[in-house]
Copies of this chain bind each other. A is one copy, B any other.
Amino acid sequence: MLRALDLAARGPVTGPNPRVGCVLLAPGSAAPGTGRDDEPRTVLAEGWHRGAGTAHAEADALRHAREAGVDVAGATAVVTLEPCNHTGRTGPCSRALVEAGVREVVHAVADPNPVASGGAQHLRERDVTVRSGFRAAEGEELLRTWLTAVRRGTPFVTLKTATTLDGFVAAQDGSSRWITGAAARAHAHSVRTTVDALLVGTGTVAADDPSLTARSADGMLADHQPMRVVLGYRPVPGTARLRGPGGELVELRTHDVREALLTLFERGVRHLLVEGGPVVTTAFLRAGHVDELHSYVAPVLLGSGRRAVLDLGVTTLGDALTFTTTSTRRLGDDVLVVARPDHQDVGRAARPGTTPTA
């Protein structure tokens, strides 16, 4: 299974589909989870999923076996995710495994996708032994953002802020370039390559005219460019940098965070990076739609200016939005704090999840 997880990790972190790996073991090999870890295993073939529109991991492994002339009848398939049971751009993997004569399937994580699940049941009905939940923790971790999104029906949201030590994102006159240093900005660009979409509000478009592309330090565009999403009613000007090279531009004419997230999920977005200004940041926090915080903090004091977060409806410390830190990382003079909210519904009590008018 660890090998299957390694294979899965070769797949793209972005896109609507999960990363999945598959190892086909020869009949008689000790299957994972059977307590026979020291017995030899014979690998017949391996495969992994390379993103939407390409073969699923199981199909990829079966094809490799066929190409190599290897018979997989009686084999055990070790898969990181429960084999799918629906026909999308590719056929259902559960059927392909049965047709190939696979007799046993071991998977780490059950498929949370309502359209694709049922694979285990299909297999069992055809006398294939199915064992699930093996190395589940590792499987969950690998697919964390995707699983969160698919189970809930809205994208996993990473909220990025870049502030001074006293919590400002710009000085009184609006100047904000650059509060954080080059290392922090480079890191933020690398994060952009790992998400499906970036989101800002119309206020940020008007104030900063950002291009919202993922770039290297020398300005080169990365291979993967996330969708660029603008939240709000003001149209993006024809001359905006957002209309230049980069990911698809999507304007969502709403201030409703949940509505925006549902729309983006339907469009295949599983991981959204919110890089908005204070209004959008506050709206996502109040709506309780933040799964992870990326807070870049620079050793700078302004004393006054534009605050990173506006009114959250919190008047006493006991009602504060609290997070658990998952990592901290020094980036030049700055520090990045990555943290997860202590409660998913944090802030929800405060007010309906709409964006205050900027």
Contact = CB atoms under 8 A, between A and B. Distances in A.
Contacts of A304: 311-312, 314-315
Interface stretch (A54-62, A163-171, A248-256): A163-171
A206 B232 CA distance: 46
Given A167-B165, A171-B314, A335-B335, A300 B325 contact: no
A117 interface: no
Interface in A241-298: 282, 285, 293, 295, 297
B163 A317 contact: no
Contacts of A293: 165, 299
Contacts of A332: 325
Contacts of A168: 167
A330 B333 contact: no
B166 A299 contact: no
A348 interface: no
Interface centre among A293, A295, A307, A335 (most CB of B within 10 A): A335
A237 interface: no
A295 B165 contact: yes
A172 B320 CA distance: 11
Contacts of A321: 300-303
A309 B307 CA distance: 12
Contacts of A282: 303
Nearest to A161: B165
Contact of A167 (B163, B172, B318): B163
A60 B98 CA distance: 87
Interface stretch (A83-91, A123-131, A175-183, A187-195): A175-183
A305 B318 CA distance: 13
Contact of A302 (B300, B303, B314): B314
A175 to B, nearest CB: 4
A322 to B, nearest CB: 5
A316 interface: yes
A308 B164 CA distance: 12
A233 interface: no
A322 B311 CA distance: 27
A204 to B, nearest CB: 17
Given A167-B167, A333-B339, A310 B303 contact: yes
Contacts of A317: 170-171, 175-177, 179, 302
Contacts of A337: 165, 297, 299, 335
Contacts of A161: 165
Given A165-B161, A171-B317, A312-B304, A323 B299 contact: yes
A275 to B, nearest CB: 16
24 contacts: A161-B165, A165-B293, A166-B167, A166-B307, A166-B308, A167-B308, A170-B317, A171-B316, A171-B317, A171-B320, A173-B315, A175-B316, A175-B318, A177-B317, A179-B317, A285-B303, A297-B335, A299-B339, A300-B321, A301-B320, A302-B317, A325-B330, A325-B335, A328-B330
Interface of A: 161, 163-168, 170-173, 175-177, 179, 282, 285, 293, 295, 297, 299-305, 307-325, 328, 330, 332-335, 337, 339
Given A293-B299, A301-B309, A304-B312, 13 more contacts: A165-B293, A165-B297, A165-B337, A171-B315, A171-B316, A171-B319, A175-B316, A301-B314, A302-B314, A303-B311, A303-B314, A303-B321, A328-B328
